Every structure is written in structure tokens, then in C-alpha cells.
Structure 1
Amino acid sequence: MRILFAAPENAWGGMLAKLRTAHPELEFVASGDFRIATLQGFDVLIPTMSEVSSLVLQSADRLQLIQQMGAGLEGVDMSAARERGIAVCNVPTDVSGNADSVAELGIYLMLGLARNARVIGQHLQEGRLGRPMGLSLKGKTVGLAGLGGIGKALAVRLAGFGTRLIGVKRQPDTGLAQQLGLDWVAGMDDLPELLAAADFVVFSLPDNEATHGLINERTIELFKPGAFLINLGRGGLVERDVLHQALSSGRLAGAGLDVFWQEPPDANDPIFDCNLLATPHIGGVTDISLEGIYQGVSENLRRLQSGQSLLYRQDFNPT
């Protein structure tokens, strides 16, 4: 059985080497980058960050499984996979530990923005003590846009900082609000209310037809003046030019990004001269998260070989 690992050989903390050690009977091929030239001759695809379009799937002559390393399947044409009888599986964030890791990075970005991390080193180097002035998270309102595994993990951790929490998800959920200690959990139609109230807005939404370009010229004006935006979801949620203008003008006090409008982003993009803390899509790249993802992927490879039902299958027809 041949498996295409659509990434550089050493990506994701040596994941490919671990899979090869665990499954010496299988042939693994690394694509070398995040593009898929052909699926001909492969039984399994691990797409990582690569797009799996209908056109790409036309080259598949024996593909049985698309196994994502994490949860994100936005780049997979699910209808085309379903039509071809190709199983599509992921490893959910709350199963792998990925949600916990991404939530920790989100808090890192929030604290960095609140404490002016971009200029701390300069103050220290110049011998200026007692500066820069920072903000405390205590008493601030945090708006969680998305309350899946990552949003829930954030809520649990932020409670310890003494923040006021509000949230939006696809449908209002008073039970979830009570469970997680949020003041309210509304539907996505109430996003404007969240943006107007929150000092920090943290996005952990997928990129789909309903959310692509969610932060645009209209919605950026709904943010509380001087608020911070943190995006842990997908880069397509935020329009780059709109964010740049909001940061340059001071409409937003700062932003924290682990995902971008293009990946990797242009290192010379002038947006990085603004009050922007950026990390190279590493929210889930931790020992805990990668071990959980490895376990999920490895188990499904074993199950495919033995003819057992696959875990976390996502390609069934919607009911």
C-alpha cells in the first residue's frame, strides 16, 4: 500500500518518520511541498495543507482514503471524494489534544499583545525600566467566535484570568454558556454584538462559504475601538487589506495571527510593521498534539489494512 504525504519530508515534527517506523510494511512518499501533482498509484493521501480538488482527484486510480493529520478538511472537495467512493477521515481537535495546544497559543498571543511584546526587547536593550505600559486580561471581555474544540479549550483556560466571556457559534446555546461560564452564547447572526463588546476577539472558525472573508470592510467597523483580533482558525476568515488598514489607522490596537491569507505569507509584507504578533501556523505543533494526531492517523492506516471501520469518517452523505 502506497501513501502520499503531501508535505516536505521533515514537516510536522517528524511525523512521517514516526509513521514509517510504525508501519514498515507500507510505502510512504513525501511530495516535498504542499502541492499534489498526481494521485496515480497511491492508496492513501495525507493532504496536510494541500488542496484536494476535484481535478486532483481525477488522477486517483486506486485511492481508498484521504486521511487528514488534523481536523481541517476545508481544502478537500468532499463531494468529489464521495462520488469516487473515497473515504475521508480526520483527527478531531478535542481527540488529539490539538485544541488544547491551539488554545495555549491563543493565550500566548493575547498576553503578548496585552503586554506590548513587540517593544519589550527594545525597552530592555535601552535600559528603560518600568515600561512599556501593559494591559491586564483581568476584567476584559473576550469574544470567542467559534466554540468547537478550540473555543471550548480557550473558555476553560481564560476563566482563570478573570475575563468576561461571550461567544457565537452556528446556533445559540444557553446550556453551553452555563457549562463553560460564558455570559451568553449566541448564533452567528449576533456576531456584530460580540464585536462591539469584546476587547479581544478570538476566531477559531473553519473557512467555508459562510465564513470566508468574514472580517471585511463592513465587519471591521463593528469592532470595539482599540480591540485586538486573534485568528486561530483559517486565514481566509480575514481580508488582508482590511486588516492592514485597521492596524495602520489604529482602528484595531493589534492582531495575533497563526494563520494567513496565503501560506506561507510574504515575509516582506508591510503588514508585519504594524502591531502584529505572528506565528507560522504552529498552534497544533506541540508534543501532545502531534502525538495525538499520530495515534489517530496510525490507527486508521492499520484499520484500512485489516478491513475494519475507519475512525472519524467525514464523507458520509448529510442527512
Structure 2
Amino acid sequence: MRVLIAADENAWGGLIESIRQTMPDVEFVASAGHAAESLAGFDALIPGMCKVDARLLATADRLKLIQQAGTGLESVDIAAAKQQGIMVANVPSHTSGNADSVAELGIWMMIGLARRHQEIAQCLAQQRLGQPVGLGLMGKTVGLVGLGGIGKALAKRLAPFGMRMIGVKREADAAFAEKYGLDWVGDMAQLPQLLEQADFVILSLPDNAQTHHIIDEKALSQMKPDSFLINLGRGGLIDKEAFIAALENNTLAGAGLDVFWQEPPDPNDAVFNYNVIATPHIGGVTDISLAGNVAGVCENLRRLRDGEAVDNRWA
């Protein structure tokens, strides 16, 4: 069995080599860059961030499975794959440890922004003790936009901080709020209410027709001027032009970004000129989540090889 991995050989913190070691009888081919030119001669594809559209799928001559090493399938044309009889599957974040790792990164960003991370090195260099004066998280309000695996993991971890938690998801859910300790969980129509109340807004949504640019100029104007925005979902959730303007005009205090409009981002991007904690899409790149993703990917490849039903199918 031959499997194409649409990523550089050393991408994803050693995940490719771990997959090879787990399944030494399978041939894995890594492409150059996060892309693929042809699927001919391959039985399965691990797409990563590669755009898998009808044009690319037309090059497949024996492809049976598109298996994501994680949850994100926004770049895969699932309908086109289904039409060609190609299965599409992922590794759910709550089973791989991915959601837990992403949530931890989000909380690290919250603390860094609250404690004025940009000023700390300068204070040390100038031997100024007891500065800067930061914000405590206790009593602050955090708005969780998206309450899937990552949202749930955040709620579990934020509860001991003594923060007030509110959230929105596709449908209002009082039972969810009670179970996870949120004051309220509304539908997406209540996003303005969340933005008006929150000191920290954390995004953990996929980027699709319903969520693209969900944080636009209007949404940013509804946020408190001393609030922070953290994006753990996808870059397209935020209107970049409006976001930069809010930082420039000090109507947004700062942000944490693990995802970008272009990936990898340009090192000279204007976004890095502001109070932004930026990480190179590493929310799910930990020993725990990598091991979980390797296990999930290899289990489905084994099932494909052995003629068994594939788990976590979307098509």
C-alpha cells in the first residue's frame, strides 16, 4: 500500500517518521511543501493543509481514502471525493489529545496577554522589579466561540481559574452550560452579546461559509476596547483588515494567534507589529496529541489495508 503525505518530510514535529515506524510494511511518500500535484499510484492521502479539490482528485487512479492527521477537513472537497467513491476520515480532537493541547496553548496565550508579555523582557533588562502590573484572570469573563472538543477542553481547564464563562454554538444549550460551568450558552445570533461582555474571546471554529469572517469590523466594534481576541480555529474566521485596524486604533487590546490567513505567515506581516502573541500553528503539536494522531491515522490505514471498516468517516 502506498500513502502520500502532503507535507515536508520534517513537518508536524516528527509525525511522519512516527507513522513510518508504526507501519513499516506501508510505503509513505512525503511531498515537497504542503501540497500535492498528483494522486496517481497512491491508495491513501494524508492531506494536512493541502487543498484537495476536484482537479486534484481527478488525478487519482486507485485512491481509496483521504485520512486527515487531525480534525480539519476544510480544505477537502468531501462531496467530490464521495462522488468518486473515495472515503474521507479524520481523527477527532477529543480522542487524540489534540483538543487538550490546543486548550493549553490558548490558556498560555491568555496569561501572556494578561501579564503584558511584551513588556517583561524590557523590565528585566532595565532591572525594574514588580513591573509590569498585569491582569488577574479571576473574575474576568471569557467568551468561548465554538464549543466542540477544544471549547469543552477550555471550559474544563478555565473553571478552576474562577473566571465567568459564556459561550455560543450552533444552538443554545442550557444543559451544556450546566455541565461545563458556563453562565449561558447561546446560539450564534447571540455572538454580539458575548462580545460585549467578554474580556477574552477565544475562537475554536472551523472556517466555512457560516463562520468565515465571523469576526469582522462590526464584531470587533462590539468588543470591549481593553479585551483580547485569541484564535485557535482557522485564520479565515477573522477579517484581517478590520483586525489590523482595531489593533492600530487601540480598540482591541491584543490578540493571540495560532492560525493565520496565509500559512506559513510572512515574517514581515504587519500583524507582528502589534500586541500579538503568535505561534506557528502548534496548538496540537505536543507529544500527547502527536501520539494520538499517529494512533488514529495508523489504525484507519490498517483497517484500509486489511479490508475493515474505516472509523470517523465523513464520506
Structure 1 stretches (4+) deviating beyond 6 angstroms?
Answer: none
Secondary structure, in 3 states, of the residue corresponding to 1:252?
Answer: coil
The structural deviation recorded for 1:12 is 1.1
Q: Distance in 2 between the 1:273 and 1:196 partners?
A: 26
The structural deviation recorded for 1:219 is 1.4
Q: Which residue does the alignment assign to 1:284?
A: 284
Q: Percent identity?
A: 59
Q: Distance in 2 between the 1:59 and 1:178 partners?
A: 49
Secondary structure, in 3 states, of the residue corresponding to 1:29?
Answer: strand
1:43 partner amino acid: D
Q: Which residue does the alignment assign to 2:185?
A: 185
Q: Which residue does the alignment assign to 2:49?
A: 49
The structural deviation recorded for 1:213 is 1.0
1:234 partner amino acid: R
The structural deviation recorded for 1:244 is 0.8
1:221 partner amino acid: S
Q: Which residue does the alignment assign to 2:242?
A: 242
The structural deviation recorded for 1:106 is 0.2
1:132 partner amino acid: P
The structural deviation recorded for 1:216 is 1.1
1:172-223, Cα deviation, whole Å (9 max, x unpaired): 0000000000000000011000000000000000000000111112211111
The structural deviation recorded for 1:20 is 1.4
Let me know the Cα RMSD of the aligned residues: 0.7
The structural deviation recorded for 1:270 is 2.0
Q: Are 1:134 and 2:134 an aligned pair?
A: yes
1:182 partner amino acid: L
Q: Distance in 2 between the 1:46 and 1:206 partners?
A: 19
Q: Distance in 2 between the 1:133 and 1:241 partners?
A: 31
Q: Which runs of 5+ in 1 are unaligned?
A: none
The structural deviation recorded for 1:14 is 1.2
Q: Are 1:304 and 2:286 an aligned pair?
A: no
Q: Distance in 2 between the 1:248 and 1:124 partners?
A: 27
Q: Distance in 2 between the 1:263 and 1:286 partners?
A: 19
Aligned length: 315
TM-score normalized with structure 1 length: 0.98
Q: Which residue does the alignment assign to 2:84?
A: 84
Q: Which runs of 5+ in 2 are unaligned?
A: none
Greater Cα offset, 214-223 or 77-86: 214-223
Q: Distance in 2 between the 1:253 and 1:18 partners?
A: 41
Secondary structure, in 3 states, of the residue corresponding to 2:73?
Answer: coil
The structural deviation recorded for 1:314 is 1.1
Q: Distance in 1 between the 2:219 and 2:58 partners?
A: 38
TM-score normalized with structure 2 length: 0.99
1:170 partner amino acid: R
The structural deviation recorded for 1:234 is 0.5
Q: Which residue does the alignment assign to 2:94?
A: 94
